[in-house]
Every structure is written in C-alpha cells, then in structure tokens.
C-alpha cells in the first residue's frame, strides 16, 4: 500500500514537472513568435521608407536642385517640353501691330532698332509688359533701299573701331537689351570681320547673339563658339514672304515641328510692313495650338546652350 502511495505521488510530481516544462516551452515559443513578427514589421517599415527616399531623392522645400533657371519645365506627362522662342523684329519705327504684339501675354523677345523715333519707348513698354528686349542691329544688305536699313547701319567698309563704337551706341540706345540680332544684313551679316567686331562688344557685355540668317552664308555661330559667346540661329521666318494669316500659322507650325524634333526652335516675325497686326493675330490664334502640342513659349535667354 505504501509503495502504491509513493508511486502515485511520484507520478503526480513527474506530471507537474512535465506540465511546467511544456508551459515554459510554450511561453518561450510564443515569445519567439512575437519577436519574429516584430522583426518582420520593423524591416517592412524600414524598407518602405528607404524605397520612398530612393524614389524621391529630393530635399523638402528645395525641389529646384540641379535645375537651371528658365530650363524647360516637366510636362504633366513627365516629359520635357519643347521650347519655342519667338522674336519680333523691327520695333522702333512703323506702328503697324506694335500695340497688338506688346499686349500678348506670353514670353516673346522684342528686337528694337536703335536710333529711331520710338526706340526707347518701345523698349521700355516691352520691358514693362514683361517681354525680353534685344537690339535689332541694322546691317548692310545687297538688296533693298538704303533707307530700309535705318539711320546708322553697320557697313563692311567701316573700320573695326567704328563698328564697335556703333554697336556700343546701339546698346546704349536700347534700354534693357539682353542680346542682339540682325536687321537685313545679307552683306555685313556674312562678313567674318564685321561679325567678329559685333561679337566682341556682345562678349564685353556678357550678352547673347542671334544670327537671323538673312544671308546665304551665316558666319556668327562659328565665330561665337571660338569667342565662347552664346549664339542662336533663326529657324523659321513667320512672315515677310506672304502676308496671309494661313501662311503665318503654317510657318509657326513648322517652327513647332523643329522644336519637337530638336528640343528648341527660334522663329522670327515682324511689326511694321513685313507683318504687324496679322503676325500678332497669327501668334494669338496659335497659342492654344502651342499648349496642345506641349510647346513652351520662352524668351531667347531661356533656350539654354
Ligand atoms: Zn529687321
């Protein structure tokens, strides 16, 4: 009997010990599971955060890092917008289209001829209306009436110092000028010595040059490259050849195609006899087209290098 009791008690004791061990190990397994779940959740949170920063890679409030002022803004679709710079020549004299052109509320570059009745007022109004202003340098041409070139044109028989003095005077006469392009100039615009003198003055003022490419042999780009001056070339004349609205709008579409192919384009129109009110109307009627084609109208200074 006593043996039976001892056996029974021992058995009970063993069961209790075994239960405690089971309970102990169950508790340990639970803790392990909790620990593992916590590790997994922490890792997931860390991973998601790292992925977010990797994709955004920006400093809050400093989104313009690595961007150039005036650089193309990304479109809604995330692609870079093509840039079109429209220059309007011949401000300073004939009033045809001047008011209409100056009232267009888009980035246009107004080329103002020096030494004329409305030179200063046109440049000042263009600047006040938030347009870019450049000097429209009158230069000797093979064709056309001498009066068309203006009162003080640059001619190929001038000495270097005379050309530089004339260009300096022109810049002093056109306030707010950010650069220069050529008025007429089929002869002087293709003369390497003359263009070199013009570009020296522009370099001294840290401005840009636009070769309007009125002649058959544009020389400015190569000379400007050697002198390290920013130089653009005209791609399309909007008006001049044909005074119809349809022709001008088609020319603007051609400029858009160049911009879409190469990223940027320059188009030149006129106030006065060569375009005026119709050119202003063509630009106004094309504004929605530019937007629909994701073309950004920019100042020449915004074209980049
Ligand atoms: Zn001109």
**CATH code of residue 184:** 3.20.20.370
Cα of 160 vs centre of ligand 1, distance in Å, is 23
Distance 183 CA to ligand 1 centre (A): 4
Ligand 1 centroid vs 202 CA: distance in angstroms? 19
Give me ligand 1 centre to Cα 240, in Å: 10
Characterize the bridge pairing of strands 208-211 and 231-233: parallel
- Tens digits of per-residue pLDDT, 93-103? 999 999 999 99
- pLDDT for 217 equals 77
- Say if 254 falls within a structural domain: yes
For residue 39, what are the domain limits? 1-57
Dihedral sign (CA 140, 144, 146, 147): negative
Instruction: Check whether residue 169 and residue 297 sit in a common domain.
Output: yes
Q: Is the pLDDT of residue 59 over 80?
A: no
73 occurs within a structural domain: no
259 in the same domain as 296 = yes
Same domain, 148 and 38: no
Same domain, 192 and 287: yes
CA distance 292 to 285: 13
Region 210-221: mean pLDDT is 84
Residues 93-136: tens digit of each pLDDT: 999 999 999 999 999 999 999 999 999 999 999 999 999 999 99
More confident residue, 71 or 188: 188
Cα(177) to ligand 1 centroid in Å equals: 16
Q: Are residues 52 and 166 in the same domain?
A: no
When divided into structural domains, the chain yields a total of 2
156 and 99, same domain (yes or no): yes
Statement to judge: residues 91 and 50 lie in one domain: no
Per-chain residues with Cβ under 5 A from ion ligand 1: 89-90, 183
Q: How far does the centroid of ligand 1 lie from the alpha carbon of residue 269, in Å?
A: 9
Give a yes or no: residue 77 inside a domain: no
Q: Are residues 174 and 29 in the same domain?
A: no
Q: Is residue 225 part of a domain?
A: yes
Contact (Cβ atoms closer than 8 angstroms) between residue 221 and residue 234 = no
Question: CA 162 → CA 21, 199, 202, distances in Å?
Answer: 107, 14, 15
Sign of CA dihedral 88, 94, 185, 206: negative
> Same domain, yes or no, for 283 and 217?
yes
Under DSSP, the state recorded for 47 is H
Do 100 and 158 belong together in one domain? Answer: yes
pLDDT of 173 over the 70 cut = yes
**141 CA from centroid of ligand 1 (Å):** 11
pTM summary value: 0.74
Asked, for residue 278, whether it belongs to a domain, the answer is yes
What is the distance in A from the centroid of ligand 1 to the CA of 191?
A: 18
| Residues 52 and 86 grouped into a single domain | no
Q: Are residues 109 and 194 in the same domain?
A: yes
């Amino acid at each position: 009997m006593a043996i039976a009791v001892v056996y029974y008690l021992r058995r009970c004791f063993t069961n209790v010990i075994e239960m405690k061990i089971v309970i102990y190990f169950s508790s340990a397994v639970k803790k392990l599971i909790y620990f593992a779940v916590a590790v997994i959740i922490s890792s997931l949170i860390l991973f998601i955060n790292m992925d977010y920063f990797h994709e955004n890679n920006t400093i809050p409030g400093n989104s313009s890092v690595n961007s150039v002022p005036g650089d193309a803004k990304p479109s809604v679709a995330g692609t870079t917008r093509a840039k079109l710079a429209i220059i309007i020549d011949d401000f300073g004299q004939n009033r045809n289209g001047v008011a209409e052109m100056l009232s267009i509320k888009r980035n246009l570059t107004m080329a103002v001829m020096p030494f004329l009745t409305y030179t200063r007022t046109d440049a000042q109004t263009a600047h006040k209306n938030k347009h870019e202003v450049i000097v429209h340098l009158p230069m000797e041409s093979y064709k056309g009436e001498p009066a068309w070139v203006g009162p003080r044109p640059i001619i190929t028989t001038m000495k270097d110092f005379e050309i530089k003095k004339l260009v300096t005077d022109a810049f002093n006469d056109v306030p707010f000028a950010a650069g220069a392009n050529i008025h007429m100039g089929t002869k002087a615009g293709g003369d390497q010595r003359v263009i070199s003198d013009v570009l020296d003055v522009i370099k001294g003022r840290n401005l840009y040059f636009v070769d309007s490419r009125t002649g058959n042999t544009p020389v400015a780009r190569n000379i400007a490259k050697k002198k390290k001056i920013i130089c653009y070339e005209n791609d399309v004349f909007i008006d001049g050849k044909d005074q119809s609205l349809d022709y001008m709008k088609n020319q603007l579409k051609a400029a858009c195609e160049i911009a879409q192919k190469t990223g940027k384009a320059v188009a030149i129109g006129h106030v006065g006899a060569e375009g005026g009110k119709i050119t202003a109307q063509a630009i106004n009627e094309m504004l929605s087209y530019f937007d629909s084609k994701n073309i950004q109208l920019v100042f020449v200074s915004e074209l980049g290098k």
